[in-house]
Amino acid sequence: MFCAINPDLDHLQDGQFDFHFSAKDNLTTVGLPTRAGSRILEGYRPAFDAHAVEAMRQAGGLLLGKTNMDEFGFGTFSTNSAFGVPRNPFDLDRSCGGSSGGAACATAVLDGHVALGVSTGGSISCPAAFCGVMGLTPTYGRVSRHGLLDYGNSLDKVGLISRRAADLEMHLRNIAGPDPRDPTSCAQPPMGKSAPVRSIAVPKDALEGVSDEVSRSFQDALDRLRDDLGLKVETVETPSFRFAMPSYYVLGCSEASTNLARYCGLRYGVQSEEITEHFDKYFSRIRSENFGREAKRRILLGTFARMVGFRDRYYMKALQVRELIIQEYQRVFQDHDLLLTPAMPFTAPRFDAIDDMDILEVYKADYLTIPPNISGMPHLSMPCGYAQGMPVGMQFVANHWQEGLLFDIAQRWEEAFRLRAPEVTA
Amino acid sequence: MRIGLEVHVQLPTRSKLFCSCPTSAQEPNTAVCPTCLGMPGSRPSMNRAAMEMGLMLAKMLGCRIPERTWFSRKTYFYPDLAKHFQITQYDTPVGEHGVYKFQGKDIRIRRVHLEEDPGKIKRVGRAGEESSLIDYNRSGIPLVEIVTEPDISSPAEARQFLSDLLTEIRHVIDLPEDGERSVRADCNISVGHERVEVKNVTGLKNVERALTFEAVRQTKLLRAGKKVERETRRFDEERKVTLAARKKEFEEDYGYIGEPDLGIFNIGDMARALALKETPLQTAERFQRDYGLNPQMSRQLVQTSMDLARLFEHMAEKVPVADVLPWITGTISSLWSELESLDDEMRDAMTGLVASCSRGEMNDQECQMRLRALITGEELTLLQSGAEELEGTIEDYLDRNPAVMEDYRKNEKSANRVIGEVMKASGGKYSSSQVVEAVRKAMESRR
Ligand SMILES: [Zn+2]
């Protein structure tokens, strides 16, 4: 689950730190490699800490190490890393989810741990659900992205994974706030306390395409929310959500293809001592040899979507869809505090099943996590049950900047639901 | 012949467009940071001063300025481009649809936008075994790009247009004098129907040369009944020719998308709040209107210095223009570079001299000498050390013409003859009042 361990761990004294945390490998860290799961960044030593890492250190946290991930965040199962695959602590033959797979895994097995994760299209909700922990993705712009190796700048959010609701709230307060090094973080309102959650909206087609076991757990959870927590649960229509997935891949890949252009073996990461080829050839060679298959696929998809003639048809249209989805959410939030769906349509799949999935099936697995991500809505993935020993997750979504509602529901559900820890044998 | 220009000018900000690195470093790669090196995890933040300068130029060029603007990524692979995308403006330039009045005609301005400069590649070593070094000091320096419609009709006109434009720009955003060397232009020219673009030409002279070469080349082709190919060429400064560029180099699709990290800027209010100074050439036009100056003279005035132009206006309020002009365009203009500073005191002193000369209280010679002394800070040497010499000249004259004294004893007016003669003999070296005084003194003592 870790792809780099803090070299100072051996000579630390007890009581020096208030808590321990980890950082996803796409957050820069002074003194530890930062490779975002990619071979092309082999050897890169960042000159600065990412804002979130810096804030956690300042709050008294000990950085244990860097958690493994799909290369640059491109994946749903953490199987696209150049540095091994983290395995699910509930069943080692299954995936941790992705792309913050290592982060969720660390949280599931280390008591009191809090992991910094990053979500672009569901990379916190998914692994949190598969590993039976809580994953908080804040509003876009809530946490400075300074020091984050970009996937899609208009989509990326730095968030938290933990087993305790109180930790999520406390540490979000540590890492949130305006930071001039990321101008998109400077427009945020302060984080306030919110009134308690009273009503929850569930999309009519929330269970379409969802496995039976996840459906059952989710239905049970709905009953308990209604009966035990006394919440009003109502069905709503969200017809435009089905456009979220294609739009997400167009936007995410378009931005990613520009972000990844800088990795070419010239200024950091993998490089030759002396470059004797024409630069075009050299860049192509370094990129061909060191990017993984999925990274290459998304670069090609994204480049294609940006080209003249396609730009209007894909990229510009995807931007319009994003607005449409934001409006749809805001319509729902006029009458409801939160929107709820399962987090993933199935429980953590076995690695052999993943090998058999075609790429479209993999992309489709994110259809529940993509709507809140593309619209920048804060969301929280929480365990809502167990099916054949594997955790099932549900995902609450709140309106922009309303993280307070998520903390309220997290605390109340935590009291009502008994979280299981995996049995880990060394 | 139709010529359109895309002019790039570096903006004279202290720090770069998206980071706080200085823009003035000399040693290669000393003014760099994670942002302008494109290090993973770094991101841009906007330099407000650059935005203001961009808006100022858009305003100066009479452009329509949008209420909101954002930046885009122009992606291409080149070693001097740190992120392999350039942050520039694509959908919403700071200005569009402007017009620039130039020698009585309108040059339409298609757009004015801001962007970051890439780094610089330097080739070193002997031919055949050269290597390339990259200096990222320039990476992220703010540029403004001004794109004209193809309204220019000759290479010479293009150069004159650029020169005028730079005069204006220099004044509006305080561009240093050597700013002109850093001016780069992409030149579009069509003699027939097909357009050819000559990329990245540096300096005014080269713009004219490149366009002239291209005009001749295209004309020859057309005369020979051949077709001009629509293409991109580059200018070889040493051989002074344009050459076809490698196709791939320029005919890329840049795949523009928005730059999400900078967000959207509401620039409407900012633009409205910016007060635009009168530009030099506008001042020149006003001088033609208000003071009847001829076009050449008024342009020369503002191009020498806007302070000189303002001095002219100050003098013209108090002294007839016809009496001011010779001084302004003559003595004062030629000594202008020696003037240390033009404060109010200096301005009033100069105006006083010109005014008293205009009133006939001193002759031209004296006025000139006094102005020179004032401007250069030198002593009024000729006037003062000349006092004895003047006395000598007068005594000499009186000795040689004893009859004068006799006349004088009868009629004091005969002193005027002496004054006239002495003035003539000394070649106007002394002021009339000085001569008058000295002559009276000498004649009184002989009486
Ligand atoms: Zn910099």
B70 touches chain A (CB under 8 A): no
Tell me which DSSP letter residue B329 carries.
Answer: I
Query: Do B194 and B227 meet the contact criterion of CB atoms below 8 Å apart?
Result: yes
Which of B37, B253, B263 lies nearest to residue A183, judging by beta carbons?
B263
Q: Write out the catalytic residue numbers of A.
A: 24, 99, 123
Beta carbons of B261 and A303 less than 8 Å apart: no
Across the 447 residues of chain B, what is the mean pLDDT of every consecutive 10-residue run? 94 95 92 96 95 95 96 95 96 95 90 96 85 94 96 94 88 71 86 89 92 93 89 88 73 87 93 85 88 86 84 90 87 84 85 88 84 81 63 85 86 86 76 83 84
Task: Give the per-residue pLDDT at B447.
Answer: 77
- What would the mean pLDDT of A180-199 be, rounded to a whole number? 93
- Closest chain A C-alpha to B236 CA, distance in angstroms: 21
Q: Strand A61-67 relative to strand A134-137: parallel, antiparallel, unpaired?
A: unpaired
Task: Give the per-residue pLDDT at B103.
Answer: 81
B382 alpha carbon, distance to own chain's centre: 36
Which residues numbered 4-43 in A keep a CB inside 8 Å of some CB on B? 27-28, 34, 36, 41
Q: Is the pLDDT of residue A11 over 80?
A: no
Task: Collect all residues with Cβ–Cβ distance below 8 Å to A257 and sequence separation of at least 6.
Answer: A298, A299, A300, A301, A302, A303, A306, B75, B255
Residues in chain B: 447
Q: What is the pTM of this model?
A: 0.85
- Closest chain B C-alpha to A29 CA, distance in angstroms: 10
Which of A154, A261, A303 lies nearest to residue B83, judging by beta carbons?
A261
A351 touches chain B (CB under 8 A): no
Task: Give the per-residue pLDDT at A7.
Answer: 87
Domain ranges of chain A: 2-238+332-416, 244-315
- Closest chain B C-alpha to A249 CA, distance in angstroms: 14
Tell me which DSSP letter residue B97 carries.
Answer: E
Please give the residue that has the higher pLDDT: either B104 or A34: A34
Please give the residue that has the higher pLDDT: either A301 or B301: A301
Which of B84, B255, B260 lies nearest to residue A262, judging by beta carbons?
B84
Report chain A residues whose CB lies below 8 A from the CB of B40: 28, 34, 36, 41, 44, 46, 149-150, 262-263, 268
* A364 φψ region: left (φ > 0), alpha (ψ -120 to 50), beta (else): alpha
Beta carbons of B39 and A184 less than 8 Å apart: no
A255 touches chain B (CB under 8 A): yes
Task: Give the per-residue pLDDT at B181.
Answer: 58
Q: Strand A379-387 relative to strand A338-342: parallel, antiparallel, unpaired?
A: unpaired
- Closest chain A C-alpha to B101 CA, distance in angstroms: 35
Task: Give the per-residue pLDDT at A308.
Answer: 84
Beta carbons of A184 and B75 less than 8 Å apart: no
Q: Which of B257, B259, B264 to mutate to test the interface with A (most CBs of A within 10 A)?
A: B257
Tell me the CA distances in angstroms from A61 to A15, A112, A119, A126, A227, one per residue in order. Answer: 11, 12, 22, 25, 39
Tell me which DSSP letter residue B17 carries.
Answer: S
Beta carbons of B41 and A50 less than 8 Å apart: yes
Tell me which DSSP letter residue A182 carries.
Answer: B
Query: Do A148 and A158 meet the contact criterion of CB atoms below 8 Å apart?
Result: yes
Task: Give the per-residue pLDDT at B178.
Answer: 63
Beta carbons of B45 and A146 less than 8 Å apart: no
Q: How far is the CA of B112 from the centre of ligand 1 (A)?
A: 24
Task: Give the per-residue pLDDT at A320.
Answer: 95
Work out how many CB contacts closer than 8 A connect A with B: 102
Selected from 3.40.605.10, 3.90.1300.10, 3.40.50.300, 3.60.20.10, the CATH number assigned to the domain covering A2-238+332-416 reads 3.90.1300.10
Beta carbons of A48 and B45 less than 8 Å apart: no
Which of A153, A280, A303 lies nearest to residue B261, judging by beta carbons?
A153
Report chain B residues whose CB lies below 8 A from the CB of A281: none
Distance of alpha carbon A39 from alpha carbon A42, whole angstroms: 5
Beta carbons of A258 and B262 less than 8 Å apart: no
Report chain A residues whose CB lies below 8 A from the CB of B18: none
Query: Can you read off the two tokens belonging to residue B24?
Result: 């003035």
Task: Give the per-residue pLDDT at B410.
Answer: 86
- Closest chain B C-alpha to A253 CA, distance in angstroms: 11
What count of other Cβ atoms lies within 10 Å of the Cβ of residue B352? 15
Report chain B residues whose CB lies below 8 A from the CB of A185: none
pLDDT tens per residue across span A166-184: 999 999 999 999 999 999 9
Query: Can you read off the two tokens belonging to residue B111?
Result: 């757009």
